[in-house]
């Protein structure tokens, strides 16, 4: 019973983490890409 409960809790936590990653990663990725492009543009000029 305890094992089943801990597995269920683990799945819930994993889902929360995945959802958080889905929310945060695109923003971080976009920001990083923007920074790289900005740096590249600065180096070019």
- What pLDDT does 41 receive? 86
Task: Please state, in angstroms and as integers, the Cα–Cα distance from residue 30 to each residue in 1, 14, 16, 24, 44, following that order.
Answer: 44, 24, 22, 10, 21
* pTM recorded for the entire structure: 0.55
Q: Where are the domains of the chain?
A: 1-38
Cα(20)–Cα(31) distance, rounded to whole angstroms?
A: 17
Q: How confident is the model over 11-45, as pLDDT tens digits?
A: 999 999 999 999 999 999 899 999 999 988 888 76
Phi–psi pair at 11, nearest 5 degrees: -65, -40
């Amino acid at each position: 019973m305890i094992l089943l409960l801990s597995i269920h809790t683990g799945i819930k936590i994993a889902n929360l983490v995945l959802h958080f990653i889905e929310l945060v990663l695109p923003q971080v990725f976009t920001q990083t890409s923007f920074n790289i492009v900005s740096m590249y543009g600065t180096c070019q000029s």
